[in-house]
Amino acid sequence: MIIKTIKLVLATLLILIIICIPISIYLVRFNNNSFIGRNIKKQVIKDPKLVEILNLDEPGDGRYVYSDPAIPSVSVSIYSVDNKPYNERITLWVEDIMHSTVNKKIGEFYEGDINYGKTELLTDESLEEIYKLIKSDSKSDLYIIFTGSYAEKPSSVGLVIKRDAIFIFNDAIDLLSEKGYVRDLLEKTTIMHEWGHLLGLEHINYSNCIMNEMAEVYDNPPVGKNLPTKYCWEELNNIKN
């Protein structure tokens, strides 16, 4: 009798596992805005192997890869799409950003060019196509991609749609400031802001913090002294936790 009971319990547990695994995968991949899906995903993304297996590719899904103390460096690829320029000090900027947020060094560093050829505003579909072209060209932990302007919100200076890629919209930045200190600052702080999203940070209301939404979408040209240039304590604390 005891053996039969144990077998029944084990069989029941096996059935529950078989049912729960696909349900959990569905919730994590396709319904992670639900309370259950959101909380399951918080645990799943802590394992980089599960992130790869389940192909989780939303901004923030790779945060534990970037913050893992066992990984000493982050490989970075910088891409210019259709000859869009970027600041020559970008390597120093990224080194500083990595050090201040996840205490990492830059590992392999690659610079490349992609000819996309579309001059109109870029849709989400266009960004997906550019991303696929770049991923087929090189393999890195982080991609920073300089391109034109975003169709959905032309005033956006930056965007993340993947777990490992930052899009910088040069044309939008140029409209705000063509050259000089303010333009350089816009480029750097945009990278900082979007990197924050890849680390799982959301927008914050404090105007002096990098994750303020104003560091991503500008309705008016900014004044240099009004641009946030550092991560606030709250932001750094959220990254660590």
> Do 28 and 124 fall within a single domain?
no
For the chain, the maximum distance between any two Cα atoms, rounded to a whole number of angstroms, is 83
Decide if 210 contacts 196 (C-beta within 8 A).
yes
Q: Is 27 a member of any domain?
A: yes
Three-state DSSP class for residue 79: strand
Q: Pairing relation of β-strands 105-114 and 73-81?
A: parallel
Same domain for 73 and 37, yes or no, is: no
Place of tokens 């391109």: 147
Q: Kindly state whether residues 217 and 113 are assigned to the same domain.
A: yes
Same domain? 9 vs 114: no
| Separation of alpha carbons 38 and 155, rounded Å | 30
76 and 38, same domain (yes or no)? no
Claim to verify: residue 28 and residue 74 sit in the same structural domain? no
Give the residue ranges of DSSP H helices in the chain. 2-30, 35-44, 48-53, 63-67, 90-102, 124-137, 170-176, 181-198, 233-240
> Per-residue confidence of the chain (241 residues) as pLDDT tens digits?
666 666 555 656 655 555 555 544 444 444 455 556 566 666 776 777 777 777 788 898 888 889 888 888 999 999 999 999 999 999 999 999 999 999 999 999 999 999 998 877 999 999 999 999 999 988 999 999 999 999 998 888 999 999 999 999 999 888 887 667 888 888 999 999 999 999 999 988 887 889 887 665 665 656 555 677 889 998 988 888 7
Closest CA to 216 of 228, 230, 225: 228
Residue 59 lies in a domain: no
Residues 74 and 131 in one domain: yes
Domains identified in the chain, total number? 2
If asked whether residues 106 and 168 sit together in one domain, one would say yes
Q: What is the dihedral of CA 170, 179, 97, 208, to 10 degrees?
A: -100
| Domain contains 103 | yes
Indicate whether 97 belongs to any domain: yes
Q: Is residue 57 part of a domain?
A: no
Block residue for tokens 């660590």: 240
Domain extent for 17:
2-44
Q: Is residue 50 part of a domain?
A: no
Do 126 and 10 lie in a common domain? no
Is the same domain home to 40 and 78?
Answer: no
User: What is this structure's pTM?
Assistant: 0.83
